[in-house]
């Protein structure tokens, strides 16, 4: 899964683009639910939130490192 750092400026660009509705507004900044983020596996070649973020504050989550196979399995679990 990916992680939004505290540099986030709450611009709301990423939230509507996520195909898994993994991005929501948290206590202070936008947050990614690691149980829903497939790093866009199953939808796009690259994470679409990263593509639209104007300040590049979305990074790999070091506490939720996953292989392509694990991400594909998560996609199948979420979408059948």
The Cα 52–Cα 77 span in angstroms is 26
Under the binding rule (CB under 6 A), the answer on residue 23 touching ligand SF4 is: yes
Under the binding rule (CB under 6 A), the answer on residue 74 touching ligand SF4 is: no
Burial of 29 (0-12, 13-18, 19+ CB in 10 A): middle
Under the binding rule (CB under 6 A), the answer on residue 66 touching ligand SF4 is: no
Residue 60 tokens, joined:
């790999």
Under the binding rule (CB under 6 A), the answer on residue 4 touching ligand SF4 is: yes
State the minimum distance, in angstroms, from the CB of residue 42 to ligand SF4: 9
Binding residues (CB under 6 A) for ligand SF4: these are 2, 4, 8-14, 17-18, 20, 22-23, 30, 32, 37-40, 47-49, 52-53, 55, 57-58
């Amino acid at each position: 899964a990916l992680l939004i750092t505290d540099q986030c400026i709450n611009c709301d660009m990423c939230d509507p683009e996520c195909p898994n509705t993994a991005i929501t507004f948290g206590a202070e900044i936008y947050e990614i639910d690691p149980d829903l983020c497939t790093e866009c596996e199953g939808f796009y070649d690259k994470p679409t939130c990263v593509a639209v973020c104007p300040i590049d504050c979305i990074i790999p989550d070091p506490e939720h490192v996953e292989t392509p196979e694990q991400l594909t399995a998560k996609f199948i679990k979420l979408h059948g």
